[in-house]
Amino acid sequence: MSDQLTTPTTPPLEAAGSPPSRQVRVAVLQAVATVVLGAVVGVVGGWLVERLWSPAATGMVVDHRWYRGVVSLDPPLVAQNADQRVFAGIGWFVVVTVVGGLVVGLVSALFLARRELVTLVAVTVATVGAGFVTYAVATALAPPDPARAAATARNGTVLSDTLHLGSHWVVLACPAGGLAALAAVFLMLYSRPRG
């Protein structure tokens, strides 16, 4: 009985299977693979956001200022629903980044989950990065800012609007999707009975 008090019940780390250096390498590779997956999802997501959002709303240059929705100067005409594309850009961005986050979370949880805490940190970093990469790619592919282009344009020049997200906080839609997927998989597949 006294042997049970002094003998450890869990085997030491070396006897648990593989040496610690191998376990660390596997964890680092898992994290790197998750972050690379997030970068790929971000690039594809940015391209997809720009494609789903296009074509942009147009506007016209008047006295070196760009006015969204103006379609004619003589007679002055303003298009209806000129701001609809602004909201469509935000909406498509959120939809694409949430789905991208879900993909990163599911793939990481199902195929790369050797260590749960490493997976959690890696998915968080990967999806935050994916959100910013999506934003960067989508805005790089969108038409240039018409307000800047209007400074040198002639009156009556029609310019397309650019992608506006309104706030950088929308990039957090991607981590929300990724962490939701990760939590769902961990709770459903990896729950252990207590007893």
> CB of 123 within 8 A of CB of 176?
no
Decide if pLDDT at 176 tops 80. yes
Decide if pLDDT at 48 tops 80. yes
State the DSSP code for 153.
S
Q: Among 74-83, 126-135, 163-172, where is mean pLDDT lowest?
A: 74-83
Q: Alpha helices, DSSP H only, in 54-158?
A: 84-111, 116-141, 146-149
Work out the end-to-end distance of the chain between its first and last CA atoms, rounded to an integer number of angstroms. 23
Coil, strand or helix: which one is 175?
A: helix
Minimal CA–CA distance to 97: which of 140, 57, 52, 141? 52
The pLDDT of residue 144: 82
pLDDT tens-place string over residues 49-86: 989 986 667 777 888 887 777 666 666 666 655 556 56
pLDDT band at 111 (very low <50, low <70, confident <90, very high): confident
Decide if pLDDT at 12 tops 80. no
pLDDT band at 151 (very low <50, low <70, confident <90, very high): confident
Q: What number is the average pLDDT over the span 117-121?
A: 91
The pLDDT of residue 82: 55
Cα four-point dihedral sign 99, 112, 172, 57: negative
User: CA 98 to CA 51: how far, in whole Å?
Assistant: 17
Report the predicted TM-score, pTM, of the whole model to 2 decimal places. Answer: 0.77
Question: Residues near 55 by Cβ (< 8 Å), separated by ≥ 6?
Answer: 160
Cα four-point dihedral sign 96, 97, 98, 101: positive
Minimal CA–CA distance to 92: which of 129, 125, 55, 147? 55
Given its phi and psi angles, is residue 4 left (phi above 0), alpha (psi -120 to 50 degrees) or beta?
Answer: alpha
